[in-house]
Amino acid sequence: MKRLKKLSMILLYLLLLCLLLEFSLRYFLKIRDKASFFDPKTIIYYYYPELKEITETPISNNDKFFDILILDGSALNDKWGNVKSELYKQLEGTGMKNVKIYNVAVPAHTSLDSRIKFEWLKDKDFDLVIFYHGINEVRFNNCPDSFFKSNYLHYLWYNEIINIVKHKEIKYTVIPYLIESLKIGIQKKFKLRKYASIYNPDPEWVKYGAKIKTSSEFRKNLEQIIRLAGLKNTPVMVMTFAYYIPSDYSLDKFNSKKLDYSKHRSPLEWWGNPENVKLGMEAHNQVLKDVVSTDTYRELYFIDMNNLIHKNGKNFDDACHFTQEGSREFASY
């Protein structure tokens, strides 16, 4: 009897230690990443702050509003163009007054970021989802085949994001998540693992960008978004990625603002060798066309934006960002 009582006391003591550890770690996440103590999976807002307001907003397809979700990188971001405001104007012009547009487009984000965001928002009842990607993950091809990883895990950013996504138990305990987070942090601090730069391609590796390795990942992410939308019969609008590269393009001319662009904001070299960047965008656009032509989802719609929009300096600030006039033309389709 005494042994049983002693064992019970030990187990109770261990349980209290585990609870103390759990509470301490949750408080740590609350301070460091502003995650909710009672809902630690909200740590994702540290990486995707654009999700917080939408998550907290009731969105229903049974109300009076037509709710649109935009998934993209910087091309449709509110600070890099005016597509959202122009889209409001176009829709109001057709008599659609009760429209709400939720824009989670963020510079440098890719189809994988959009897939993760849409998975997070899967309980929201949108009336339309717009998918517009094509250039950002072109940068991810600038590495040898042996270095390239599924889910873009050759980038630190996605190791940290996937660590959150895959730990479904995080709503009950944060310990497994933080153990792996610690491992990632140690690898980063002591340079035990090499990661590619998400913004600046390695000059010695730019040559590898001629081989497009991102097409299958791009397709997987798009198909997952379509599948999730199909669970709620949510219409999905897929567009080819519009770009404009003047025939006389060079970095020197770009920097001296002598090209047929308006503001000359982002040189192609941000993503890699210009020829390789074009190859990547074309490869991704082909994926978009292939998916649309083969997917059986009836609420899947397609606009070949790359072949519709007029390609000139009146519409483009650089290869992929729109001017006011370009935003207006984009929204008109």
Buried residues in 123-161 as b, exposed as e (16+ CB within 10 A):
ebebbbbbbbbbbbbbbbbbbeeeebbebbebbbbbbbb
pLDDT of residue 80: 96
pLDDT of residue 285: 99
pLDDT of residue 56: 96
pLDDT of residue 245: 99
Could you tell me the end-to-end alpha-carbon distance of the chain, in angstroms, rounded to an integer?
79
Distance CA 117, CA 231 (A): 16
SS3 216: helix
In this structure, the number of other CB atoms found within 10 A of the CB of residue 107 comes to: 15
At 94, give phi and psi (nearest 5°).
-95, 5
Taking the complete model, does pTM exceed 0.85, yes or no? yes
324: tokens are: 């006011």
pLDDT tens for the chain, 333 residues: list them. 677 777 888 888 888 888 898 899 999 999 988 999 999 999 999 999 999 999 999 999 888 999 999 999 999 999 999 999 999 999 999 999 899 999 999 999 999 999 999 999 999 999 999 999 999 999 999 999 999 999 999 999 999 999 999 999 999 999 999 999 999 999 999 999 999 988 889 999 999 999 999 999 999 999 999 999 999 999 999 999 999 999 999 999 999 999 999 999 999 999 999 999 999 999 999 999 999 999 999 999 999 999 999 999 999 999 999 999 999 999 999
Type of residue found at 304: D
Q: In angstroms, how far is CA 226 from the centroid of its own chain?
A: 15
Distance CA 49, CA 270 (A): 24
Q: Are 225 and 118 in contact (CB under 8 A)?
A: yes
SS3 261: coil
In this structure, the number of other CB atoms found within 10 A of the CB of residue 183 comes to: 14
* 315-to-108, 110, 260, 318 alpha-carbon distances in Å: 21, 23, 10, 9
pLDDT of residue 150: 93
Distance CA 66, CA 59 (A): 10
Q: Into which CATH architecture does domain 64-151+196-332 fall? A: 3-Layer(aba) Sandwich (3.40)
Give the residue among 302, 116, 148, 300 at the shortest CA–CA distance from 220: 116
Distance CA 289, CA 281 (A): 12
pLDDT of residue 207: 98
Q: In angstroms, how far is CA 309 from the centroid of its own chain?
A: 24
